Amino acid sequence: MWEEFPNACDTIGLGPRALHRRLRVYGVKLSKDVKPKWMRTVTGCEGLRLFLETMADTCRDSGRVSLDDDEEEFVDILEERRRSSDLGHALRTFNPHPFQGAPSCSTAELNKAVLESQYLHYVVKEIAMETGSSVEEVREKASGVLEEMSQNLQLGFIRLMGYMFTKVFKRLFTSIFVNMEGLHVLQQAIQESPVILMPNHRSYVDFLIISYILFTYDIPVPVIAAGIPLAGMKIVGEILRRSGAFFIRRAIGSDKLYWAMLSEYVKTIVRRGYAPLEFYVEGLRSRTLKSLTPKLGMMHMVLEPYFKGEVFDIMLVPISISYDRVLEESLLAHELLGVPKPKESTMGLLTARKVLQEDYGSMHVNFGRPLSVRHMCQGKINRCQYNLTPRDLPQKPTAEAQAWVNWLAHVMVRIQEEGSLISPWSLMACLLLQEPITALTEEGLLWHQLTEKTLWLRKLVLDFGARLNWPGQMPDSDVMSSTVTLHHSIVRCKSGRVYLVQEEEPARRHPVSPEEGVNKTAAMVLMLASYRNQALHVFVRPALLASVIHITKSTQIDELFSCFCFLQDVFSFEFIFIPGKSSQDFEEACFFLKKCGAVHISQQELTVSETGLEVLSFLQALLRPFIDSYQVMFRCLSEEGGHVFTENQFLPAVRNLATQLILSGELHTYEALSSDTQKNVLSALRRVEAVTKLRGSEQNEYRVNNAAVGRIGDMLSGKIPPQRLQPTPDARL
């Protein structure tokens, strides 16, 4: 094992500091006199074995226990901006070091290369034959698509955005922390290979913060995949385009020409090393602030040049952006309750300037260690198949390649999760949501009770290996007081008690109906839940096991593992699980519960310890809103008279049923009203074929298998033994 240790760590992609921190989480102690490469003495071999098996197989980046006092890992980039001229920063000499193998290329030359590519020639002729149009007509249409899509990156507009963003960021945030080690590694990686930047997406602020940071540190600014509605914003759309944004339609469907143009445009950028390319692997901005199931279209496009041997390697850089407070917190909650999303417009941007009067705390931008595609796919993808067809011809990826890309996309999202920093408010939100709603709205929760539980939870989250953003230079009481003050829009503290803020209602003639009252409370609960969601990735695996123990009432490892896999299948669209890694997830859950003293584990049995009830109770309550919400939706599907329904029928029906159950006191979670949760249920049921989408239906009709849905509900409630709902994925992936 020791001979393989350096190779395993290379696979994980850890630097020495990150390795040191992560090993401590798993109970492995390093001596202080560490060799330049690895180490001289290590104790705790069992922890090391589990670490390597769990981490090397999934290629996850390092987590961390906390910010060590002797490690200046994050630097506040606004500190310098507050002391110097904003205009001077924008107009200073910008001296980036681009990809060394990339020839100098203008935007016009890039677009010309796309239009003149052999791949596009082939697709244009094929479409002309299929539609009966002339080649010239199809080419003219392709040129129009490219004009709508393409970026027009110009340094002058980067400087303009740099000046504007400095002004805005200094008003919005007290600090923007960036890990300099990751930034320096990125600077080197960009010079050596084409680089793909993959940040998570929680706020509109995400969109150009990466460009702002790279401009600040003389690193080539990226071209960024953006939604087409942003292009329609007067003036702003053009500024974004000239700042590096290229715009993609949201509903491409089966538009063969558009797919070809987008694919070739992206692949040309990667092949030529034109600039780092940035896109959101989750596809959309998360309205719940937890990770979304990755979308694979763009992922396939950026990787294809490597599969075809057109580039030697591609470096994928996961980026984790964490917020103390999100600008759109109220907007996101109302969208989840069915309020239409406001259309992106310049006027809307101007009228939203009141957000500049609020304090949004700190932002952390954590640049993960670049991951080599060449290294990660070694032994997993046979690229020889791509030599059988000319590179310029369209090739459908094999099932093997599709499975690997899906695996890789999930790995990237997991790395984003582990790179994010958990705020004190996220811990407090976890605890507040476990209180009865009447305690939060009427009686209030005792302040000292909340702070004591938060400190207890802080210890637990550190035991689970989380990266915690807890200011060490302030007393704990001040940290918690300031975080509640920061989130005054959600909670308030009065007379030693904490209350959930009630949404203000304009003067009206008629009293608020019970249903309207539920919606008002739900908006505040969903805002609170979004901050809890930022910490869920830390707890979800131990929480699944805690729920399994509660559901099965069993102590047998085999039975617990079977139920664990069942819950992963049910919540496959709710949380991120890497395909084929259920065994490692279960081992990790067992390890953490054992580490915090919640359970005892023998070879065949897992038993609850006397001191573990508090931990297990907290973890079970953490998942209870999801389990209850899913049961409501299973019930709604079973109670519907017909076996065929549309999504537009299902969502209001669930919302109405959940509202009535809340009013009757039968349901205690407002999260069943969330449209994202409702859609996740449909997606999960479709995956296990309990619900099937009818082909050829213009209204997206679904057929429900009532027996299958009822059986899943019975397994979730423990009425019948849970079992895996789908075949185990290929373990090699």
Residue range(s) defining the domain that contains residue 549: 424-504+512-596
Distance CA 114, CA 198 (A): 23
Query: Tens of pLDDT along 233-275?
Result: 888 888 899 999 999 998 787 889 999 999 999 999 999 999 9
CA 69 to chain centroid = 29
Give the confidence band of 731 by pLDDT, cuts at 50, 70, 90. Answer: very low
Query: Tens of pLDDT along 321-351?
Result: 999 999 999 999 999 998 877 766 555 554 5
| The pLDDT of residue 345 | 59
547, 544, 555: which is closest to 602 by C-alpha?
Answer: 555
Residues 338 and 199 in one domain: yes
- Looking at the domain assignment, is residue 305 inside a domain? yes
Query: Tens of pLDDT along 24-35?
Result: 544 555 544 443
C-alpha to C-alpha distances, 419 to 23, 64, 372, 416, nearest whole angstrom: 16, 8, 18, 5
Give the confidence band of 390 by pLDDT, cuts at 50, 70, 90. Answer: confident
Distance CA 544, CA 564 (A): 7
Phi-psi sector, 590: left (phi>0), alpha (psi -120 to 50), beta: alpha
Residues 245 and 258 in one domain: yes
| The pLDDT of residue 150 | 94
Percent of the chain with pLDDT over 90: 66
Tell the burial category of 157 from Cβ atoms under 10 Å away from its Cβ (0-12, 13-18, 19+): middle
Number of domains present in the structure of the chain: 2
Last residue of a domain, one of 385, 419, 453: 419
Give the confidence band of 502 by pLDDT, cuts at 50, 70, 90. Answer: confident
Residue 66 has pLDDT above 80, yes or no: no
- Looking at the domain assignment, is residue 700 inside a domain? no
Residues 429 and 414 in one domain: no
Residues 379 and 455 in one domain: no
- Looking at the domain assignment, is residue 279 inside a domain? yes
- Looking at the domain assignment, is residue 652 inside a domain? no
Better-scored residue on pLDDT, 233 or 444: 444
| The pLDDT of residue 511 | 74
3-state secondary structure 192-212: HCCEEEEECCCCCCHHHHHHH
Residues 434 and 414 in one domain: no
* Amino acid (one-letter) located at 173: F
Give the confidence band of 64 by pLDDT, cuts at 50, 70, 90. Answer: very low
Residues 391 and 480 in one domain: no
Distance CA 232, CA 403 (A): 36
Residues 290 and 436 in one domain: no
Dihedral (Cα; 582, 584, 585, 590), 10-degree rounding: 130
Query: Tens of pLDDT along 673-696?
Result: 999 999 999 999 999 889 988 876
Residues 376 and 518 in one domain: no
Residues 198 and 303 in one domain: yes
- Looking at the domain assignment, is residue 275 inside a domain? yes
Distance CA 107, CA 110 (A): 5
405, 411, 398, 399: which is closest to 371 by C-alpha?
Answer: 411
Segment among 42-56, 185-199, 211-225, 364-378 with least mean pLDDT: 42-56
**Beta-carbon contacts of residue 591 (< 8 Å; ≥ 6 apart):** 26, 50
Distance CA 356, CA 173 (A): 9
Interaxial angle between packed helices 297-307 and 256-272, expressed in degrees from 0 to 180 and rounded to the nearest 10: 50
- Looking at the domain assignment, is residue 620 inside a domain? no
Cα three-residue angle 552-553-557, rounded to 5 degrees: 75
Last residue of a domain, one of 419, 448, 465: 419
Residues 252 and 330 in one domain: yes
Torsions phi, psi for 503 (to 5 deg)? -60, 130
- Looking at the domain assignment, is residue 81 inside a domain? yes
What CATH number does residue 242 fall under? 3.40.1130
- Whether 692 and 701 have beta carbons less than 8 Å apart is answered as no
Distance CA 376, CA 13 (A): 10
Last residue of a domain, one of 419, 436, 452: 419
Residues 191 and 232 in one domain: yes
Residue 507 has pLDDT above 80, yes or no: no
Task: Report CA Rg, the chain.
Answer: 26
Here the tokens at position 526 are 């969903």
- Looking at the domain assignment, is residue 2 inside a domain? no
Residues 435 and 562 in one domain: yes
